[in-house]
């Protein structure tokens, strides 16, 4: 399978560009990353739900642009951001109102230093920006959305998940799972983890009879 794959696994930190599967669901975001360094106003925003591949794309861009990554889920102090380097600001939806003015100044410094910023956020968790100057600037950034997965992407995510776990799965079993999982990145990940854990606990090969035993489809 060629292309790129969009699954950000918690136990396997595999952010290789060749493992990011591109299709219509994430093409817009993938192409926007490739436009760097010709980003309008020096920044772009990638919108996507949890487990949709935002961090994978961010790490691909990090490698290409020699950027730093700062994650707002880690109780980050914005004062640690180096505005003389390109950087990713992950989970921007966690930016507090008290930090909006600080980030506005950080953006201006970064822009003046001719560096770039990649912002990722979950728009389901993103409310609004209260600081008008920052809101205006933020709305000027180019942006792209990662959409819910279709059957082809679900199939690719399942293949990638079990490949990373070094588990061989019959293609018929993959097709069986594909038809029965939700079209939601987080739900897919949790479902596959549950299958994997049940297989380990029961020391049983993952098969259609195994799945029918433990799940009410």
Q: What is the pLDDT of residues 163-172, one digit of tens each?
A: 888 899 999 9
List all residues 6 or more positions away from 42 whose beta carbon is below 8 Å from its beta carbon: 110, 111, 114, 115, 116, 117
C-alpha distances in Å from residue 205, one per residue of 13, 20, 93, 114, 164: 25, 27, 40, 54, 16
pLDDT at 6 over 80: no
For 77-104, the pLDDT digits (tens) are 999 999 999 999 999 999 999 999 999 9
Rounded Cα distance between 29 and 53, Å, is: 10
73: part of which helix (H) or strand (E)?
none
User: Is the pLDDT score of 59 beyond 50?
Assistant: yes
* Half-sphere exposure of residue 159: CA atoms within 13 angstroms, side-chain side: 17
pLDDT at 13: 53
pLDDT at 107 over 90: yes
pLDDT at 10 over 60: no
Say what the pTM is. 0.84
Predicted pLDDT of residue 175: 96
- Position 141 confidence tier, pLDDT thresholds 50, 70, 90: very high
Q: How far apart are CA 94 and CA 72, in angstroms?
A: 6
Q: Phi and psi at residue 87, in whole multiples of 5°?
A: -155, 155
Lowest mean pLDDT among 58-62, 137-141, 158-162: 158-162
């Amino acid at each position: 399978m060629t292309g790129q794959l969009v699954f950000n696994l918690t136990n396997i930190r595999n952010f290789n560009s060749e493992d990011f599967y591109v299709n219509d669901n994430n093409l817009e975001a993938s192409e926007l990353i490739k436009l760097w360094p010709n980003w309008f106003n020096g920044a772009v925003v990638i919108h996507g739900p949890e487990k949709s591949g935002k961090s994978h794309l961010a790490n691909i861009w990090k490698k290409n642009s020699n950027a730093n990554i700062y994650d707002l889920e880690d109780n980050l102090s914005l004062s640690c951001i180096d505005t003389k380097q390109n950087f990713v600001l992950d989970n921007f939806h966690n930016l507090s109102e008290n930090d909006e003015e600080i980030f506005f100044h950080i953006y201006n410094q970064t822009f003046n230093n001719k560096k770039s910023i990649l912002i990722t956020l979950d728009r389901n968790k993103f409310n609004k920006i209260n600081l008008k100057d920052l809101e205006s600037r933020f709305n000027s950034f180019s942006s792209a959305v990662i959409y819910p997965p279709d059957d082809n992407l679900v199939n690719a995510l399942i293949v990638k998940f079990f490949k990373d776990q070094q588990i061989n799965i019959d293609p018929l079993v993959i097709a069986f799972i594909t038809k029965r999982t939700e079209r939601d990145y987080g739900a897919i990940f949790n479902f596959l983890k549950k299958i994997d854990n049940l297989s380990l606990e029961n020391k049983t090969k993952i098969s259609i009879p195994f799945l029918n035993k433990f799940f009410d489809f």
